[in-house]
Structure 1
């Protein structure tokens, strides 16, 4: 394919996010040819493109465990006791919701949220998570202290922590908690969540393979299932970026037996 044609295909992909079936007729090319061009230039998956610029996202991986740990918070709706509508149907689910919450001025039940705090090592993808009641600075600090102990127990010396610009992470106390242990704190540029992409991807895995894996009948039941998920993720789940191996295969103290 002529270089000019390939450039035109890439330009349409970046500027308009079009697929092969739509780019082909515009340039008079078979969709299969367009697909090969996009694959050759690393543009065949929209998930690999930066949304604002259309440029391919540069993938990176730190060279050793602990060089960079990604930290983030995911908010999940609470589950009423007895189960929500997905578990028991709308009629019973709505009744459970009414019984599990206080009514506000709008007369609508507000059941609230749980906050899943997570830390993921960039090199190994070793992960630690907790279900907590809020995302305040003291909660975030407490979580990090326990996460730090988890990584240390697995032989991982944390050097840097990367977070978004949430208020709990922008607090002076959070940064001080890190620097007290000799850990540098970095924050992503505003509106660039892909910079913290490894923990963002882990959040999606949490949702798919734990939070929404099956209908739970209470918050406690869902929370109790997190430990099994984390063990499976760290010790048994194959990771394509790790040559089909689990995260634990990349840490210095794989069994966590040393202190």
Structure 2
């Protein structure tokens, strides 16, 4: 495996092979490149048997591990983890294994993070990402209680700011998130009726188009009536040339990117600080969206903001 003091990289190995193929003695080429004849012959031998692919680094993992935990015992560890959601320190005594061994087994099978499991069933949540911007857009609505003038309980305290539940009404935050780039768009409305949802989709498509996403191919939503039966919603999809997709009932993981965006929306906008009025909170949404799209780093995007991925292929950023 290559390391920071290695004499030969993959490019250096190719250079070695080119010089040997040209007819020069292996010993002379090895001396020129500062490596031993044994090393030079090793790479020549690999090239002759495997071709150019033989010059790549190989894994340092051994071909066999006779002392590895038996497969049946590993299966028991995984089953207990998924059934009881216990950590290595508690699974170890049950199975008679060191906690470190249990942790290695869980890591090997992708079960070492509880956040990666569906809590009710214990199955591993399958992560996915579309290949290009606009291929799939997630849409959802988050309902928030309106803030009375002067502030609610976050500003005035529990008793002074207490308002009868629902007395002020609710704001409905409609959000759209592009699956590939995570570019997000949100609006605040007073309802989630069909006409409102359809008009929001049209404006969201215009927003994405203005930021480099030429078209939307599919739109993924939950099973709300407006998305299932609304004629205006279907007409908006047809105008965009997009296909509507519905999540499985009671499976918010399918629509997970916009669900996670809703959580960020609450933490970094709605509940970020006490607001003294509903209008003040509404006005702060635009600043949050700009920060989210243009400046906030995203762990799924290698620490880059969503806008950097709109016009780039997967894994490449400005």
TM-score by length of 2: 0.73
Q: In structure 1, which of residues 68, 81, 87 is the aligned counterpart of residue 149 of structure 2? A: 81
Runs of 4+ with >4 A deviation = none
Partner of 2:196: 139
Aligned residues: 242
Partner of 2:297: 238
Residues 70 and 120, structure 1, Cα contact 8 Å, conserved in 2: yes
Partner of 1:169: 227
Inter-partner Cα distance in structure 1 for 2:208 and 2:140: 16
Partner of 1:120: 177
Displacement of 1:52 after TM fit? 4.3
Inter-partner Cα distance in structure 2 for 1:118 and 1:22: 41
Displacement of 1:217 after TM fit? 1.1
Inter-partner Cα distance in structure 2 for 1:221 and 1:26: 54
Inter-partner Cα distance in structure 1 for 2:294 and 2:95: 48
Displacement of 1:109 after TM fit? 6.8
Partner of 1:103: none
Q: Which has the higher contact order (CA 8 A, sep 6+)?
A: 1
Displacement of 1:252 after TM fit? 2.6
Inter-partner Cα distance in structure 2 for 1:228 and 1:180: 30
Inter-partner Cα distance in structure 1 for 2:290 and 2:181: 14
Partner of 2:50: none
Inter-partner Cα distance in structure 1 for 2:148 and 2:104: 49
5+ residue gaps, structure 1, are: 99-107, 254-259
Partner of 1:151: 208
Residues 154 and 252, structure 1, Cα contact 8 Å, conserved in 2: no
Displacement of 1:92 after TM fit? 2.9
Inter-partner Cα distance in structure 1 for 2:157 and 2:123: 44
Q: Are residues 74 and 159 of structure 1, via their aligned partners in 2, closer, same or farther at CA, if it must alter by over 3 Å?
A: same
Which of 1 and 2 has greater Rg?
A: 2
Inter-partner Cα distance in structure 1 for 2:224 and 2:100: 44
TM-score by length of 1: 0.88
Residues 12 and 18, structure 1, Cα contact 8 Å, conserved in 2: yes
My pick for the range that moved more, 63-72 or 175-184, is 175-184
Inter-partner Cα distance in structure 1 for 2:280 and 2:225: 30
Partner of 2:109: 41
Q: Are residues 152 and 40 of structure 1, via their aligned partners in 2, closer, same or farther at CA, if it must alter by over 3 Å?
A: same
Inter-partner Cα distance in structure 1 for 2:89 and 2:145: 38
